Amino acid sequence: MFRLLLAILITFGSSIALAGELSGVVDLRPPKERRSVVRYAGGDAAELGPSAPFVGVVYLTQEGLQAGSPPEEPAVIAQRGLQFHPAVLPVSIGTKVAFPNEDNTYHNVFSYSPEKRFDLGRYAKDEAPPLVTFDQAGEIRIFCEVHEHMRAIVLVLDTPYFTTTDSKGNFSLKDVPPGDYTLHVWRLNQEGHTEPVTIGDGQIGLKIE
């Protein structure tokens, strides 16, 4: 693998490409069946929809590399069909996240994670809860106080280079400046993975078990 990388480096290293592309497949275990529990009596007006997959996150870190200024636009985790969409959201430090309620029922989004404790309280479809700014790196577990099965993860990263896999584990990270990085893979309930990777101006294909 390393030799291949070396060969690629030697072949394309001299070209004047500005960015490289990293792609590959992350092995994702199929998620467990969830049961849906409505904690409070009275029934729910909203119908249970399909859940978003707990996809993997692939990101690169480098000595001295920081997230930089966060994007202006807030990221979004919507509550739709009594599910969080998406279930996994990687953001860079300082990113604001909106939690809009698209169901005809109340939701109460909260987190006890030490990196970001917040509780938005109950709110209905048309109410706009305050944006939550994630200003500390870490894995923030998001729950809904009303619906036990609703889970989401906000992965706050101190790097601008990250992406999610699709539900099958395929990922592609583009526009990464060439250099030596450490590649990290985050998966729910599965061991993480790190490996050094050198980005040139070509494409790298990885297969991560």
Partner 1 sequence: MAISFKVKLTVAIVLAVMTILIASFELVRFQIQRSFAETLREQYERQIQLTQERDGQRLRSYASEMLNNTSSPRLLAALMEEDFSRFYYDLWKEMEAFHRNLDERYAISGAWPFFRFIREGGHYLSPPRYGAGEFQEATDSLPGILSPFPENELEALLKPLRTMEGQATEPRSGYLLVESSGQPILMTVFVCPVSDAFGMFLGDLILLVPWQGIEITNLEMRAAMIVEGQVFNARGQIPVPLAAALAGAFESGLPESLGIADENYLVFSDHPEVGPHFPEVERVVLFSTNEQDRLLAGIRDTFLVFLIVSFGSSLLLGHTLASGLHAPVLLLKRAAEQIGKGNFATRVQIRSRDELGQLGEAFNEMSEGLEMKEKYKSVLSKVADPQVAERLMQGQVELGGETVQATVLFCDIRGFTALTGRLHPQKVIGMLNTHMTTLTQIVHEYGGVVDKFIGDEIMVLFGVPVPGADDVSQALRCAEAMIAKRGAMNADGECPIEIGIGIAHGEMVAGCMGSEDRLNYTVIGDRVNLAARLCSQAGPMEIVLDQAVGAAAGLEFSKGDREFVELKGFENATAVFRLRPQATIV
Interface with partner 1 by CB under 8 A: which residues? 31-37, 39, 110-114, 141, 143-145, 147-151, 189
Are 120 and 99 within 8 A, CB to CB? yes
* C-beta of 34 vs 207, nearer to partner 1: 34
- State in angstroms the smallest separation of the CB of 65 from partner 1: 28
* C-beta of 3 vs 35, nearer to partner 1: 35
- Closest alpha carbon to 12 in 199, 155, 190, 205: 199
- State in angstroms the smallest separation of the CB of 145 from partner 1: 5
* C-beta of 141 vs 193, nearer to partner 1: 141
- State in angstroms the smallest separation of the CB of 113 from partner 1: 6
Structure tokens at 187: 């998966």
* C-beta of 149 vs 193, nearer to partner 1: 149
| Alpha helices, H only, the chain | 2-12
- State in angstroms the smallest separation of the CB of 148 from partner 1: 5
* C-beta of 116 vs 184, nearer to partner 1: 116
Are 132 and 140 within 8 A, CB to CB? no
- CA dist., res. 209 & res. 145, Å (int): 35
- CA dist., res. 166 & res. 34, Å (int): 20
- CA dist., res. 136 & res. 118, Å (int): 13
Are 178 and 70 within 8 A, CB to CB? no
In Å, the largest CA–CA distance within the chain is: 67
- State in angstroms the smallest separation of the CB of 138 from partner 1: 11
